Amino acid sequence: MNHKPSLMKILSPAKINLFLQVTGKRPDGYHELFSLMCRVDLCDVIQLEFGGRKIQIETNNSQIPLDETNLAFKAATLFLNSLNKKDGLNIAIKKNIPVAAGLGGGSSNAASVLLGLNRHYNFPINREALMSMGRSIGADVPFFIFQKTAFATGIGDKLEAYSKPLPYCLLLIYPEIRVSTHEVYRNFNLRLTKCKKKLKKTPLKKIGFDASLHLCNDLESITASKYPVINSIKERLLKHGAVGALMSGSGPTVFGLFSDPETAIKAKETFDLDTQVEIYLTKIIDKINFSDC
């Protein structure tokens, strides 16, 4: 008789937006986007322990809610309800990704729970349906279920795999500020977008992403106007050899793209004594193994 394992560990990676253009606003309040999203090797670790009578969350980060407002909790509830299961589940989240930082940590956690539960129950839900389930939790969740670097349109949930190489090392600088995505979009003015012209200058899908041409984020000016440190971090990254620097998502994390690891490491050393920031030397990954994170 085969017994399912009672424990499952899953890596839950962060994401960055190599560009993020806001293309419109929908009647339901969501904004339409055009973005190039990729996962990086900065990962939370999710442990699913099956059994018990209810869904429970535990974590090493006091900023994370432990109730039904937690996206991983929502994901587990939604999945189990879809199968009419009353099974208990303990979700232990070891957070390495900063919270509310523009890196998609909560959405990634939710996607990891959906993927893990789907595996545990022998794949009763196909990927498209799982992505649709994820969409009801958060706009970035389908991307993490898609599990590939992708062009994202719609509210970020319509995905097209991007297969050209992205030969960059990354330095992520998180200035220890929590940013509300909802607040950023609420203050967004569609008439002041800057990315449209930049992204249409070149046939992006044909030539592939080029940091010197395509780095752009329509949300950056909103967050940076409130937190000037974002622009100063960008300037420091460029001064120390980055081929480009940009805020990811709604911020406040800024990433620098470097063409070689040595330059990235030297740039990191210039931030190491700064107690006001967290620094992560990372790389873009397409397939994730435990050895990656």
Q: What is the pLDDT of residues 9-35, one digit of tens each?
A: 999 999 999 999 988 888 777 788 899
Asked if residue 245 is part of any domain, the answer here is yes
Domain that holds residue 149: 7-161
Strand partners, 152: 35, 159
- CATH code for the domain in which residue 132 is found: 3.30.230.10
How high is the pLDDT of residue 207?
A: 79
* Domain end among 161, 191, 223: 161
Asked if residue 256 is part of any domain, the answer here is yes
How high is the pLDDT of residue 211?
A: 87
Asked if residue 2 is part of any domain, the answer here is no
How high is the pLDDT of residue 32?
A: 87
* Domain end among 103, 127, 161: 161
Asked whether the predicted pLDDT for residue 291 surpasses 80, the reply is no
CA atoms within 13 A on the CB side of 36: 20
Q: Under a CB-based contact definition with an 8 Å cutoff, are residues 181 and 65 in contact?
A: no
Per DSSP (E only), the strands in 73-139 are 89-94
CA distances from 84 to 79, 88, 129 (A): 9, 12, 16
Statement to judge: residues 148 and 195 lie in one domain:
no
How high is the pLDDT of residue 80?
A: 97
Report CA dihedral (172, 173, 175, 179) to the nearest 10 degrees: -30
Asked if residue 19 is part of any domain, the answer here is yes
Q: Under a CB-based contact definition with an 8 Å cutoff, are residues 133 and 115 in contact?
A: no
How high is the pLDDT of residue 180?
A: 77
Note the pLDDT tens digit of each residue in 123-141: 999 999 999 999 999 989 9
* Tokens representing residue 210 in the block: 């080029």
Statement to judge: residues 16 and 68 lie in one domain:
yes
Amino acid at 12: S
How high is the pLDDT of residue 197?
A: 66
Q: Under a CB-based contact definition with an 8 Å cutoff, are residues 98 and 277 in contact?
A: no
Helix (H/G/I), strand (E/B), else coil: 144:
helix
Q: Find the range with the poorest average confidence among 72-76, 202-206, 239-243, 266-270.
A: 202-206
**Mean pLDDT score, 274-293:** 82
Statement to judge: residues 29 and 153 lie in one domain:
yes
d(CA 284, CA 289): 13
Catalytic (active-site) positions: 15, 140
Statement to judge: residues 153 and 14 lie in one domain:
yes
Query: 166: closest CA among 121, 214, 233, 117?
Result: 214
d(CA 254, CA 171): 8
Asked whether the predicted pLDDT for residue 5 surpasses 80, the reply is no
How high is the pLDDT of residue 1?
A: 40
**Mean pLDDT score, 53-64:** 93
Query: 216: closest CA among 199, 235, 239?
Result: 199
Asked whether the predicted pLDDT for residue 239 surpasses 60, the reply is yes
Confidence of residue 286 (pLDDT cuts 50, 70, 90): confident
Q: Is the pTM of this model over 0.85?
A: yes
More confident residue, 178 or 150: 150
CA atoms within 13 A on the CB side of 120: 24
Asked if residue 253 is part of any domain, the answer here is yes
